[in-house]
């Protein structure tokens, strides 16, 4: 059994791993590596980097949500599931970060802010109930899949390296959504999903540039 201090150190370690560039390590190869580099002009590079920065911050939020949820989960099975999903999300985080640097760009300066907010939301959901917490995962992944669809369309046509990353992320996120529902997560009603769409716009609008 871990003491409270051990748990706090683990949390801090995960936060630093997520927020410090080039520290996290992926388990799987970056899907971008199977695509060749293509010529992009300066405005295309800027646009692709803006989109990949949004996706990277989305993964920062995923790390924080899962960490918060794992902290307050009531059932061990739910906690294990949250921790396993967080490990898979690390791959996404690293892949997006690598692509950002390839595009001569960087992650968002707002990431610590989004990490803190998402951690609190995750911990709060976990405190209320595991089913709400799992429902929240499902709803979030649903939103992420919609974003990924839009971004795959919006990327410069020849930017197959970024697109390959988003494609694999989409496969994984849809799997995470289904797993959360299969484990008993609530399926949120449409009005709740609409609120989440509005909240996510705050993140996408700000991190495209900052
Ligand atoms: Fe992800
Ligand atoms: Fe996910």
Q: Which domain range does residue 58 map to? A: 39-207
Give the chain's radius of gyration (CA, Å).
Answer: 17
Question: Is the separation of the CB atoms in 187 and 142 below 8 Å?
Answer: no
Residue 54 domain flag: yes
Distance CA 77, CA 66 (A): 14
Distance CA 151, CA 156 (A): 10
Q: Find the CATH number of the domain harbouring 96.
A: 1.20.1260.10
Residue 108 domain flag: yes
Ligand 1 midpoint to CA 200 (Å): 15
Ligand 2 midpoint to CA 143 (Å): 10
Average pLDDT taken over every residue of the chain: 88
Question: Is the separation of the CB atoms in 165 and 101 below 8 Å?
Answer: no
Nearest-ligand number for the alpha carbon of 165: 1
Distance CA 152, CA 63 (A): 22
Structure-block tokens of residue 206: 């700000």
Q: Is the pLDDT of residue 106 over 70?
A: yes
Task: Give just the sign of the alpha carbon dihedral 174, 85, 187, 184.
Answer: positive
For residue 154, how many other CB atoms are within 10 A of its CB? 12
Ligand 1 midpoint to CA 129 (Å): 23
Residue 14 domain flag: no
Annotated binding-site ranges for Fe cation: 59, 89, 92, 141, 173, 176
Buried-state track 36-48, b at ≥16 Cβ within 10 A, e below 16: eeeebeeebbbbb
Ligand 2 midpoint to CA 16 (Å): 20
Ligand 1 midpoint to CA 144 (Å): 8
Residue 72 domain flag: yes
Residue 27 domain flag: no
Residue 53 domain flag: yes
**Structure letter (DSSP) for residue 32:** G
pTM, full prediction: 0.90
**Residue pLDDT, tens place only, 51-73:** 999 999 999 999 998 888 888 87
Residue 30 domain flag: no
Q: Is the pLDDT of residue 195 over 80?
A: no
Nearest-ligand number for the alpha carbon of 91: 1
Closest by CA position to 35, among listed 90, 75, 87, 95: 95
> Where does the chain show beta strands of DSSP type E?
none
Residue 23 domain flag: no
pLDDT at 155: 96
Ligand 1 midpoint to CA 118 (Å): 14
**How many domains, the chain?**
1
pLDDT at 1: 64
pLDDT at 92: 96
What is the residue whose two structure tokens read 């949390």? 11
């Amino acid at each position: 059994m871990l003491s409270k201090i051990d748990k706090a150190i683990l949390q801090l370690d995960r936060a630093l791993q997520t927020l410090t560039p080039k520290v996290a390590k992926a388990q799987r190869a970056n899907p971008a590596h199977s695509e060749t580099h293509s010529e992009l002009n300066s405005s295309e590079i800027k646009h692709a980097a803006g989109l990949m920065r949004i996706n990277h911050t989305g993964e920062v939020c995923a790390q924080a949500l899962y960490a918060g949820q794992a902290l307050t989960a009531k059932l061990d099975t739910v906690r294990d599931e949250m921790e396993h999903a967080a490990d898979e999300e690390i791959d996404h985080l690293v892949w997006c970060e690598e692509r950002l640097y390839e595009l001569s760009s960087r992650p968002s300066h707002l990431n610590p802010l989004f990490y803190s907010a998402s951690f609190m939301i995750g911990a709060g959901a976990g405190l209320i109930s595991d089913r709400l917490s799992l429902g929240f995962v499902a709803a979030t992944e649903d939103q992420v899949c919609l974003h990924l669809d839009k971004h795959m369309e919006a990327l410069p046509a020849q930017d197959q390296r970024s697109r390959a990353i988003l494609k694999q992320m989409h496969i994984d996120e849809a799997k995470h959504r289904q797993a959360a529902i299969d484990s008993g997560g609530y399926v949120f009603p449409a009005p709740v999903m609409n609120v989440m769409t509005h909240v996510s716009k705050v993140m996408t609008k700000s991190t495209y540039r900052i």
